[in-house]
Amino acid sequence: MLTAIDLAPGGPQDPFRDKKLSLPKYEVPDPNQEYRVPLTCGQDIGWWQPKNSSIKPEDTLPWIKVPRYPLMRSPMTKFIDYMAVTDPLFSLF
């Protein structure tokens, strides 16, 4: 038997939608996530793997791992910090 609530906009499915929205979302890995083995048979082609599976690919193929040199503090940050210490009235704007 249909009631006025069932015929209202949204109808009886609203509680189900609310429950679905309240459930925790599972994070899908980013496309750039690093996998050690191919996930599907279609990825076997072109996948760089050493013959011995106990050895990391980075050890056998050093070009895979790229050295990174992050800047701990940019020159602009150093300037702002220096000016804040030396001049108490200093403002960027």
pTM, two decimal places = 0.27
Token pair in block for residue 70: 């992050």
- Greatest C-alpha distance within the chain: 78
Predicted confidence (pLDDT) per residue in 7-56, tens digit: 556 566 666 667 666 666 666 655 666 777 778 888 878 777 777 878 77
Helices (H), the chain: 4-7, 14-22, 57-60, 75-86
**How far apart, in whole angstroms, are the C-alpha atoms of residue 55 and residue 35?**
14
Token pair in block for residue 48: 């760089």
